[in-house]
Amino acid sequence: MIRLYKKAVPEEVATAIADRAAQEAVVVTLRTRGDRHPDYVAALLTRAYAYQYSRAADESLQAAEEAYRSARAVFSDTPQHPRIIEGRSASGSSSRIRLKITAS
């Protein structure tokens, strides 16, 4: 989604749109599906990825950790579920981004 907007609007605007859409997906999915639903985990992961792109390091790490915790809770019977692995990966990526920004 961000790539489509990059050509038409400034990057800051596209990033803000993506962040807002990802947060809205989390809110709507939580309200309609609940916090123990696979769609909620997917929405949390999408928000974590959007936050990684926007380089909001602390928010990115917090969002990724929330997605990982949620994936572990929802898919607790399948420890190697792809969403758990994806959540762990997003959390690790966010940690590296935060370290990179802190070191700058």
Confidence check: pLDDT of 3 > 90: no
Confidence check: pLDDT of 5 > 70: no
18 vs 26: CA distance, rounded Å: 12
Residue 67's contacts (CB-CB under 8 Å, 6 or more residues apart) are 41, 44, 45, 47, 48, 87, 90, 91
Mean per-residue pLDDT, 27-49: 96
pLDDT band at 23 (very low <50, low <70, confident <90, very high): very high
- The helix, strand and coil proportions of the chain, stated in percent and rounded to the nearest 5, come to 85, 0, 15
Mean per-residue pLDDT, 24-29: 98
Domain positions in the chain are 9-103
pLDDT at residue 68, rounded to an integer:
92
Q: What six digits make up the tokens of 25?
A: 């997906």
Q: What six digits make up the tokens of 21?
A: 């859409």
Contact 63, 48 (CB under 8 A): yes
pLDDT at residue 94, rounded to an integer:
63
Residue 59's contacts (CB-CB under 8 Å, 6 or more residues apart) are 51
pLDDT band at 1 (very low <50, low <70, confident <90, very high): very low
Q: Check residues 25 and 79 and name the one with the higher pLDDT.
A: 25
Cβ count within 10 A of residue 103: 6
pLDDT one-digit tens code per residue, 49-104: 888 877 667 888 899 899 999 999 999 999 899 998 888 888 776 665 555 545 55
